[in-house]
Amino acid sequence: MDEAVVQTARVSEASVKRTGWPIPIVVFSLLWFELINQLKPEWWLNPQYNYGLIVPLLALYLFWKRWRVRPTPAPPAATAFPIPLILLCAALSLPIRFLAEANPDWRLLSWLFALVVVTISLLFLYIVGGRVWVRHFAFPVLFFLVAVPWPVRIEQVVIQDLMRIVTAINVTFLQLAAVPALQHGNVIEVGTGFIGIEEACSGVRSLQATLMVSLFLGELYYFTASRRLILIVIGALLAFVCNVVRTAILVWAGTTSGPKSIEAWHDPAGLTILMACLIGLWVASLIMQRRGNASPIARSIDNQRARIQLNWSFLGALAIWLLLVELGVQIWYRSHHTLIRSRWVVRWPESESHYKQVPVAPAAETLLRYNEGGGAAWEGPDGRQWMMYFFRWLPGRTAARFVKIHRPDICLPASGRTMERDNGLRMLAVNGVTLPVRSYRFDDRGVPLHVFYCYWDARSSYENIAAAESEDWSPRGRLRAALQGRREIGAQMLEIAVWGYQDDAEASEALARELSQVIGAG
């Protein structure tokens, strides 16, 4: 009799193994697919986070490796809190997805959704296998978080600081080589001209990539916590040193052959140095592995007799809820979909004196990924020098988000200009079009520089200054955009700079004259 009961239990468990696991696999594939789908635009459009495209595969591989040596599941110590907490996280997915559809650039939502998905996954592991399973599978689940973009403010502080440090090191390098060089923010002045250290040369991309690789190698070789930390430090140092070497090569090329020669060396140097950095990190991990025993991961214990309890009704309800959330979000925005066509266009002032096209830097072009646009420079009737950049993003091109963190008040101080004041936002009526224009005054090495910046969101209303000030970038404005069902449906950016006007009012009058020549109704 006892033998028959044992045999029945084994048959039942074998049946669960054959038919049970596909159900939670489908449910959690759906959950993680939603998260990956939300992060995918940033991975595709932002070169800084291109490495995120391979993180899901690496995380899945690490999970599979641990699954092969999983310990025997144990009953959870407490059963009262996991399911309610899962339900709470599942409920939070609705407002997060609702807001994210209208604000794909809001990284706070990406972090919240990532934490929701990770929490649900870890709680499910706790219900199925107890604390022992949570400890065993925690790293592959948490590893995915390295692909979530950093908060913008933290990212910009790190980028700007790294660019200044790299610039200072290269100036020192040139001076030691008996080459006269001066630092102006992130720009180096040499005899052949000015050489800028761009964001792509800050090293933050290499730093993020080596952090991901360091964590992966530490798990791949089962290093102890102390050795993983050492590997992360080695990766950070390698990324910094390799990036300094890369920028030194570019700066030396620009010093000896002129700034234009940098373009020929930019990509080959970047690829070579990145490969050297990753190979160096891999070699360091191999050396660390040989010098000591790796930390073993617990082997499976009698997995054939482990009883895994799965609540099918709960999993089914979770899957239905996730589908309803996505369906409801899509229905809401489709029912409010209105396509606002561009109400203004730019006419390039080709008839102006000394007009010439200004090429967009390859790094900026790669970052912004605009559909239309370019730059131009000319000389005004009074001899003042003008420069203009215009970019347009069509509906569905969320790369327009990156222009929000590349405003004049952020980028120009980094290039050696000193911002003297922000003259605020005003509404300018030009040829029947009302534009929100923000004015800045800079000091460009002793010469006054006025910059006029206009970001026009196709879904926004610019009836007055209050509407333009909100710009849907504040939390309140972002919430309002979601409640009104307004997705990102395209954007335009216009930036005009003029040198030499001492009086701000005179510069503004000159701007109005130039705008009347270049702006037309769409």
* Residue 272 pLDDT greater than 70, yes or no: yes
- Give the pLDDT confidence score for residue 142 in this predicted structure: 97
Q: What is the pLDDT of residue 305?
A: 44
Q: State residue 18's pLDDT score.
A: 45
Per-residue pLDDT tens over the stretch 67-77: 999 888 888 87
Q: Taking 70 as the threshold, does the pLDDT of residue 121 lie above it? A: yes
Q: What is the mean pLDDT of residues 255-283?
A: 77
Instruction: Count the Cβ atoms, other than its own, within 10 Å of residue 301.
Output: 12
Helices (H) and strands (E) in the chain, counts: 15, 12
Q: Which pLDDT score, from 0 to 100, does residue 306 have?
A: 47
Chain center to CA of 328: 27
pLDDT at 325: 94
In the sheet that holds 182-184, the strands lie side by side as 182-184, 187-190, 193-196
Asked if pLDDT for residue 131 goes beyond 80, the answer is yes
Burial 328-357 (b: 16+ CB within 10 A, else e): ebeebbeeeeeeeeeebebebbeebeeeee
Looking at residues 179-195, what average pLDDT do you find?
75
Q: Does the predicted TM-score (pTM) go above 0.85?
A: no
What confidence tier does 468 reach under pLDDT thresholds 50, 70, 90?
low
Distances in Å between the alpha carbon of 365 and those of 26, 369, 375, 468? 39, 6, 11, 26
Give 114-156 as a DSSP string.
Answer: HHHHHHHHHHHHHHHHHHHHHHHHHHHHHHGGGGSPPPHHHHH
Which of 38-42, 271-275, 305-309 is predicted least confidently? 305-309
Residue range(s) occupied by CATH 3.40.1000 in the chain: 344-521
Residue 424: DSSP 8-state: E
Cβ atoms of residues 36 and 43 within 8 Å: no
Its CATH class, for the domain covering 344-521, is: alpha beta
Side chain identity at residue 254, one-letter code: G
d(CA 57, CA 114): 16
Residue 414 has pLDDT above 90, yes or no: no
Confidence of residue 452 (pLDDT cuts 50, 70, 90): very high
Q: CA-to-CA distance for 399 and 371, rounded, in angstroms?
A: 10
Q: Return the half-sphere exposure (C-beta side, CA atoms, 13 A cut-off) of residue 332.
A: 21
Q: Residue 445 pLDDT > 50, yes or no?
A: yes
Is the distance from CB of 440 to CB of 408 less than 8 angstroms? yes
Interval 227-244: pLDDT, tens? 999 999 999 999 888 888
Place of tokens 């490969």: 275
Residue 340 in this model has a pLDDT that exceeds 70: no
Mean pLDDT of 5-21: 43
Q: What is the pLDDT of residue 44?
A: 84
Give the model's pLDDT for residue 405.
60
Q: Are the CB atoms for 346 and 514 separated by under 8 Å?
A: no
* pLDDT confidence of residue 5: 35
CA distances, 200 to each of 160, 181, 486 (Å): 11, 22, 32
Mean pLDDT, range 496-513, rounded to an integer: 92
Separation of alpha carbons 243 and 279, rounded Å: 14
Kindly report, residue by residue over 293-326, the tens digit of the pLDDT. Answer: 555 555 554 444 445 556 677 888 888 999 999 9
Structure tokens at 429: 């009526």
Quick one: average pLDDT of 333-350?
76
Whether 279 shows a pLDDT value over 60: the answer reads: yes
Over residues 358-367, mean pLDDT: 76
pLDDT at 501 over 80: yes
Q: Please name which of 370, 522, 339 lies closest in space to residue 434, comparing C-alpha atoms.
A: 522
Determine what percent of the chain is predicted with pLDDT higher than 90. Answer: 32
At 299 the pLDDT is 53
Highest mean pLDDT range out of 35-39, 183-187, 251-255, 264-268?
35-39
Q: What is the 3-state secondary structure (H, E, C) of 342-409?
A: CCEEECCCCCCEEEEEECCCHHHHHHHCCCEEEEEEEECCCCCEEEEEEEEECCCCHHHHHHHHCCHH
Query: What is the per-residue pLDDT for 8?
Result: 36
What residues pair up with 344 in beta bridges, in sequence order? Answer: 521
End-to-end Cα distance, the chain = 85
**For the ranges 10-19, 311-320, 344-353, 361-370, which has the lowest average pLDDT?**
10-19
Question: What pLDDT is recorded for position 188?
Answer: 76
* Total residues found in the chain within this entry: 522
pLDDT at 1: 38
Q: Can you give the pLDDT at residue 11?
A: 37
What is the average pLDDT across 433-451? 90
What's the mean pLDDT when you consider all of the chain? Answer: 81
Amino acid letter for position 163 = M
Cα separation of 249 and 243, whole Å? 10
Which residue matches tokens 């609705």?
94
Q: What is the mean pLDDT of residues 438-446?
A: 90
Q: What are phi and psi of 259, to 5 degrees?
A: -55, -30
CB 138 within 8 A of CB 122: yes
Percent of the chain with pLDDT over 70: 79
pLDDT of residue 12: 38
Q: Higher-confidence residue: 206 or 184?
A: 206
